[in-house]
Structure 1
Amino acid sequence: MSSPYVRRRRLSDELARLLEEHGYSADQLASATGLSKQRISRISRCQVRPSLDEILRILDHFDADHERRRTITDVARDAQERGWWERQAAQMGLRQALYADLEWGAATICEYQLTFVPGLLQTELFSRARIAADKAIYRVAFDAERAVAARQTRQRLLQQPGGPVYEVVMDELAIRRLAAPVRVVAAQLDHLVDLGHHHDRVRIRVLPTDAQIDGHAVPRSAFSIYRYPDPGDPVVVAVDTATSDLVLTRFDDVEPYLALYARLHAAALSPADSLDFLAALAGDLPHEEHHTEGANYAHQI
C-alpha cells in the first residue's frame, strides 16, 4: 500500500487534469454527475476520501479509456485505505501521524535536520526526553506512551526488509545541542554510529558548521523529501515549522527543496567521516547512568 495521503493528492491532480482536458469547472462536473458542489470541491482539495463509486461516476462521465480508468481506480482504492497511525493519531500526535502516513510505501526518504536528531533515528530515552520537553504544545488527547511506541513502530517499519532507503543530513548544531540530558545524548550518538555501521539503507551525513555550501545557501528549516515507487506519484516535501508541517507536491514548490538538499548533501561529510565525527563527539560525553536519567524523564511524561 502506498501512502493514503499521497494517493489522495494524486487523485486530486488526476481530477484536475480531467477537468482541464474537457474544459469543465467543478460546478459543471457536479451538475453532470449528480455529486454536490461541496463534495467535488473537497475531493479537489484533498480533504476527503472519495468513494470508488464517486470516482467511477466521474470516469464514466468523461468516458475515460481502459488504461486511465484502471490507473485512477487503483489510486482511489489506495486513497481510501486507513493506516495503523489513524486509529491513534490524536494520542501519538497529529504531526507524527502525518509523517507515518508519508513514510508508508516510500522508496526513499531524504531529510535535513538542523534542530535535533530526527525521530526515525531516536532512541527511546531521547524520544521520551523530547516529548517531556515539548509536552506543553500537545493537545489534551495526547498520550506520551503512545507517542513513544508509535515512533518505535515507525523505526521498525523503516528497518524491515523492503523498507525505504533513508538518508539524513544533520547539521552539526543538531548533534552538539544538548536536546536531552547529557548521558541520554551520549547514548543517542552511540546509537547513530551503530545504525550507520549496521543498516545498509540508513545513511547519515553530518553538515559541519564551517561547511562550504554552494551559493552560500542557508537552510531556514528542517524538511523531508519522499519519493515513491509509482512514477505517477508526486515527489513530496514536508517542511517542519514551529507549529505545523507544510506538505508540498507541486513541482514549482518542491524543486527549490530538491536543489537545496543537493547542495547540503554535497557539502556534508561522507557517511564514513560522519560516523567518525559522531563517535568522537560521543566519546567526549559521559555515558554512565543514562538509564536512570531516562527513567526520570519517563516518570515526568
Structure 2
Amino acid sequence: MPSPYVRRRQLAAEIRKLRESHGLTTDDLARLVFHSRTKITRLETAQVRPDLVDIMNMLDTLEITGSKYDRLLKLAREAAQKGWWDKYGMSMGPRQKLAADLEYNADTVRCYDQTAMPGALQCPEFIDALVALDESQRTLDYRPSRMAEARAQRQRELLRPDGPHHETILDECVIQRLAVPSQAMAAQLRHMITVISTEERITIRVLLHDARIPGGHLPQSSFCLYTFPEAGDPPIGVVDTIATDLIVTQRGEVARYARMYDRLRAAALTTKDSLDFLNRVANHITDRTGSGL
C-alpha cells in the first residue's frame, strides 16, 4: 500500500492549496466546517490521520466536485490507512513509528548512521543496552518491551519477500564510541553480519574513522533517504536531530542529501570488506572480553 505518512503530507498540501485558492485563513475554514483552528492546522501539517467524513464535509463546503473530488477523497482514504505499527500507538516511540511507515512502503532505503546502529537490524541484547542508555539520560519516551517488539517486527517486515532494498553506511565511530557492554556490541555486529550475508537486498558499508570524504563538507547528522514504487510519490528524506526528526520533501534539498550520500558511499568500504571488518571487530571484542581486559 502507499505510505500513509506520505499520503498525509500530500493531502496536507492539497488542503492548504484549496483553502488559499478560496481566499480563506485557517480560522475561516475552521468556522465553515465547524472545527477548531488547531485541527485544521494539524491537517495542513500532516500531524493527524484524516477523518474521511470531515474531509468529505470540507470538500462539499468548498464546492469541490467531479474528478478533483474523487482524487482528493482517494488521497484521504490512503492517508487514513493503518499499518502494523499503529497497533503500538506511541509506545514504540514517534521516531520508530515514522521509520516503520516509510520502510514498509518504500522501494529503496538509504541511510547514513553516524550515531546509531540500523534500527531495523538490531538484536535483543543490543536493544536492551540502548534502553539502559536512554534510562541513564532520562530520555525514555517509549515502553521498552513494546519498542523491542516493534523493532523485531520492523526486521521481519524488512526481510519479507517484497521488502525494500536497504543500504546503510555505518560510521565506525558508532562501533568504537557507543558505550554499550562489549557483549552487546559483539552480538549486534554478528547479528548484522548474519542478516546481510543471507539477504542480498540488505547491504552495509562501513565508513572508517580515517576515511577522507572529498567533494565538500562533512555530514552534520545521520539521515535516511526513501524512494517509493509509485511514480507520483517523490523521494523523501528524514534527518536525525537531538530532539526530533526533520522531514525533507523539497526536491532540491532531498537531492543535496542524495549527493552527500553518494560521497559517503564512495568513501566507505565495499559490502564484502565491511563484513570482514565487522567480523574482525566482533572477534576482537570477544577475545578482549574473554581475557578480562
| Bin for the TM-score computed over the shorter chain | 0.7 to 0.9
8 Å CA contact retained: 1:10, 1:234: no
The offset of 1:165, in angstroms, is 1.0
The residue matched to 2:204 in structure 1 has which SS?
Answer: strand
8 Å CA contact retained: 2:111, 2:168: yes
Spell out, residue by residue over 1:160-198, the C-alpha distance to the aligned partner (whole angstroms, 9 max, x if none).
111111110011111233542112212221222222211
Question: Residue 174 of structure 2 aligns with which residue?
Answer: 174
The residue matched to 1:286 in structure 2 has which SS?
Answer: helix
**Gap regions ≥5 residues in structure 2:** none
The offset of 1:63, in angstroms, is 4.4
* Backbone CA RMSD of aligned residues: 2.7
Question: Take 2:187 and 2:47, find their aligned partners in 1: how far apart are those partners?
Answer: 41
Distance 1:32 1:90, change over 3 A: closer
The offset of 1:45, in angstroms, is 1.9
The offset of 1:93, in angstroms, is 2.2
Question: Residue 72 of structure 1 aligns with which residue?
Answer: 72
Question: Residue 153 of structure 2 aligns with which residue?
Answer: 153
Matched, 1:138 2:116: no
Spell out, residue by residue over 1:4-28, the C-alpha distance to the aligned partner (whole angstroms, 9 max, x if none).
22211011123344456x4644459
Distance 1:110 1:50, change over 3 A: same
**Structure 2 matches for 1:182-261, cutoff 5 A?**
182-261=182-261
The offset of 1:230, in angstroms, is 2.0
Spell out, residue by residue over 1:225-274, the C-alpha distance to the aligned partner (whole angstroms, 9 max, x if none).
12222222232211112222222223344332222112111221111221
Name the TM-score, length of structure 2 as normaliser: 0.85
Question: Residue 262 of structure 1 aligns with which residue?
Answer: 262
Question: Take 1:106 and 1:35, find their aligned partners in 2: how far apart are those partners?
Answer: 36
Q: Which moved more, 1:251-260 or 1:147-156?
A: 251-260
Question: Take 1:31 and 1:189, find their aligned partners in 2: how far apart are those partners?
Answer: 52
Question: Take 1:59 and 1:133, find their aligned partners in 2: how far apart are those partners?
Answer: 48
Question: Take 1:272 and 1:234, find their aligned partners in 2: how far apart are those partners?
Answer: 31
The amino acid of 2:140's aligned partner reads Y
Matched, 1:84 2:84: yes
8 Å CA contact retained: 2:182, 2:289: no
Question: Take 2:147 and 2:41, find their aligned partners in 1: how far apart are those partners?
Answer: 33
8 Å CA contact retained: 1:186, 1:287: no
8 Å CA contact retained: 1:179, 1:185: no
Distance 1:15 1:275, change over 3 A: same
Question: Residue 295 of structure 1 aligns with which residue?
Answer: none
Matched, 1:2 2:2: yes
Q: Which moved more, 1:223-232 or 1:199-208?
A: 223-232
Question: Take 2:143 and 2:4, find their aligned partners in 1: how far apart are those partners?
Answer: 24
Question: Residue 29 of structure 2 aligns with which residue?
Answer: 30
8 Å CA contact retained: 2:104, 2:158: no
Q: Which moved more, 1:153-162 or 1:92-101?
A: 92-101
Matched, 1:164 2:161: no
8 Å CA contact retained: 1:33, 1:57: no
Question: Residue 99 of structure 2 aligns with which residue?
Answer: 99
Question: Take 2:19 and 2:233, find their aligned partners in 1: how far apart are those partners?
Answer: 19
8 Å CA contact retained: 1:109, 1:225: yes
Question: Take 2:211 and 2:259, find their aligned partners in 1: how far apart are those partners?
Answer: 17
The structure, 1 or 2, with the larger RCO (C-alpha pairs under 8 Å, 6+ apart) is 1
Spell out, residue by residue over 1:197-235, the C-alpha distance to the aligned partner (whole angstroms, 9 max, x if none).
111110101112222313242111111112222222232
Question: Take 1:37 and 1:279, find their aligned partners in 2: how far apart are those partners?
Answer: 56
Distance 1:32 1:177, change over 3 A: closer
Name the TM-score, length of structure 1 as normaliser: 0.83
Matched, 1:108 2:130: no
Identical columns (%)? 39
Q: Which moved more, 1:171-180 or 1:123-132?
A: 171-180
**Gap regions ≥5 residues in structure 1:** 291-301
Question: Residue 123 of structure 2 aligns with which residue?
Answer: 123
The residue matched to 1:111 in structure 2 has which SS?
Answer: strand
The residue matched to 1:215 in structure 2 has which SS?
Answer: coil
State the number of aligned residues. 286
Distance 1:188 1:48, change over 3 A: closer
